[in-house]
């Protein structure tokens, strides 16, 4: 009974993180303009990074990162900065719904990139899922008229590609490390790198941080704190806590509902007008990415000599 209750609590918190991430696109849309992207990102990371560092120290991980954690963390932090930059600039030029759904293509881009690097062929079904997801993007962004996607759609699509590069690079660098790298410390270094990159960039391009902060209303400050504290710090620690109490497959499955929440929030809160063809695109993308995730998951299990379960792995 207690195990079942714990499993429900873990699942509930992971779904909450997916919901929070799904809301990020609308929140960022409310806060950002073409001239304030760097200032917004700088403030978000300057709030989140020190809190993450403090939490790592309080958890007793270690006082300072190792040389390997610094090196890997800075490289990954630079890639993560590119993801945030493309994604946030994209949000400034497209709808919250489009951004939240298009970014889910990371799910199909990552295995494609990993297979290219490792020179391992993916199952034909995965290729069909990838093509289906891209067809869904065409429907979502062009209304079925095969017109060119907007600038924002293209930037978010680029963010999905760079996010796949980030995931693949993280996997390869952490596996090559002679000593195990602490995930919490590595995340703190990445966020600190993002904070440094955006603080420096915002001093040169766009609205300065001080001007941006001074222009924020009380509600905008609350939204910005939500981005930094809930969408960044809280979400990370829930993942770290949950992955030790359930299976990675279940964590991936529950967090994979993020684009569903993004689409629902964009449609019913932001009132984004999609139309029948746009909604068809959303459905095609979600179905195709879920299918791709399932095909790739079963391939990885088979390669490891594990028989794929017929049912989802239950929480423990």
What would the pLDDT profile of 230-282 be if each residue is shown by its tens digit? 998 898 888 877 766 766 666 766 787 888 888 889 888 888 877 888 888 88
Does a structural domain hold residue 84? Answer: yes
Residue 200 pLDDT? 96
**Is 113 exposed, middle or buried, given 0-12, 13-18 or 19+ CB atoms closer than 10 A?**
middle
pLDDT value, residue 190: 94
Domain membership of residue 310 (yes or no) is no
The predicted structure's pLDDT at residue 247: 64
The mean pLDDT value for 111-138 works out to 81
SS (H, E, C) 47-110: HHHHHHHHHHHHCCCCCCCCHHHHHHHHHHHHHHHHHHHHHHHHHCCCCHHHHHHHHHHHHHHH
Q: Which whole number is the average pLDDT over 32-56?
A: 92
Within-domain flag for 251: yes
Task: Check residue 50 and give its pLDDT.
Answer: 94
Asked if residues 155 and 162 have their Cβ atoms less than 8 Å apart, the reply is no
pLDDT at 125 over 90: no
Residue 312 has pLDDT above 60, yes or no: no
pLDDT at residue 147, as a whole number:
55
What's the token pair of residue 292?
Answer: 């791709």
User: Which range, 54-58, 96-100, 293-297, is most confident?
Assistant: 96-100
Among 104, 114, 108, residue whose Cα is nearest residue 303: 114
Residue 1 has pLDDT above 70, yes or no: no
Integer CA distances (angstroms), 235 to 17, 50, 156, 200, in order:
6, 16, 21, 26
308 lies in some domain: no
Residues in Cβ contact with 197 at an 8 Å cutoff, skipping those fewer than 6 apart: 77, 78, 81
> Quick check: is 311 in a domain?
no
Confidence class of residue 306 from pLDDT cuts 50, 70 and 90?
Answer: low
Q: Write the CA distances from 310 to 28, 125, 247, 294, 298, integer angstroms.
A: 39, 18, 15, 12, 10
In a domain, 313, yes or no: no
Cβ–Cβ under 8 Å, residues 282 and 97: yes
Range(s) of the domain holding residue 61: 2-303
Residue 12 CA to residue 244 CA, distance in Å, equals 15
Q: What are phi and psi of 315, to 5 degrees?
A: -70, 150
Kindly state whether residue 240 falls inside one of the protein's structural domains: yes
Q: What angle do CA 204, 162, 285 make, to 5 degrees?
A: 125
pLDDT, tens only, 176-221: 777 788 888 888 999 999 999 999 999 999 999 999 999 999 999 9
pLDDT tier at 61, thresholds 50, 70, 90:
low
Number of domains in the chain: 1
User: If you average pLDDT over residues 137-142, what whole number do you get?
Assistant: 76
- Residues 95 and 99: their CA atoms lie apart, in Å, by 6
Do residues 164 and 110 make contact, with C-beta atoms less than 8 angstroms apart? yes
Residue-averaged pLDDT of the chain: 83
3-state secondary structure of 129: helix
Q: Which of 74, 101, 114, 98 is nearest to 150 (CA)?
A: 98
């Amino acid at each position: 009974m207690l195990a079942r209750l714990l499993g429900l609590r873990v699942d509930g918190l992971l779904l909450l993180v997916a919901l929070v991430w799904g809301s990020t696109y609308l929140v960022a849309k409310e806060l950002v303009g073409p001239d304030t992207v760097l200032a917004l990102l700088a403030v978000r990371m300057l709030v989140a990074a020190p809190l993450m560092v403090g939490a790592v120290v309080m958890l007793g991980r270690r006082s300072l990162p190792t040389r390997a954690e610094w090196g890997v963390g800075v490289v990954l932090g630079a890639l993560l900065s590119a993801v945030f930059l493309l994604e946030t600039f994209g949000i400034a030029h497209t709808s919250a719904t489009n951004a939240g759904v298009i970014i889910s293509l990371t799910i199909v881009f990552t295995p494609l990139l990993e297979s290219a690097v490792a020179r391992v062929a993916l199952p034909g079904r995965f290729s069909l899922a990838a093509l289906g997801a891209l067809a869904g993007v065409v429907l979502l962004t062009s209304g079925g008229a095969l017109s060119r996607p907007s600038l924002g759609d293209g930037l978010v699509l680029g963010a999905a590609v760079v996010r796949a590069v980030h995931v693949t690079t993280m996997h390869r660098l952490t596996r090559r490390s002679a000593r195990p790298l602490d995930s919490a410390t590595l995340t703190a270094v990445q966020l600190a790198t993002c904070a440094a990159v955006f603080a420096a960039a915002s001093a040169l391009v766009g609205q300065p941080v001080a001007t941006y902060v001074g222009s924020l209303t009380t509600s905008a400050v609350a939204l910005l704190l939500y981005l930094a504290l809930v969408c960044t710090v809280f979400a990370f620690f829930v993942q770290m806590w949950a992955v030790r109490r359930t299976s990675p497959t279940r964590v991936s499955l529950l967090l994979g509902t993020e684009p569903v929440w993004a689409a629902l929030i964009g449609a019913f809160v932001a009132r984004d007008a999609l139309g029948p063809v746009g909604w068809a695109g959303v459905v095609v993308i979600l179905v195709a990415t879920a299918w791709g995730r399932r095909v790739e998951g079963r391939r990885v299990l088979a390669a490891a000599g594990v028989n794929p379960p017929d049912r989802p792995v239950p929480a423990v």
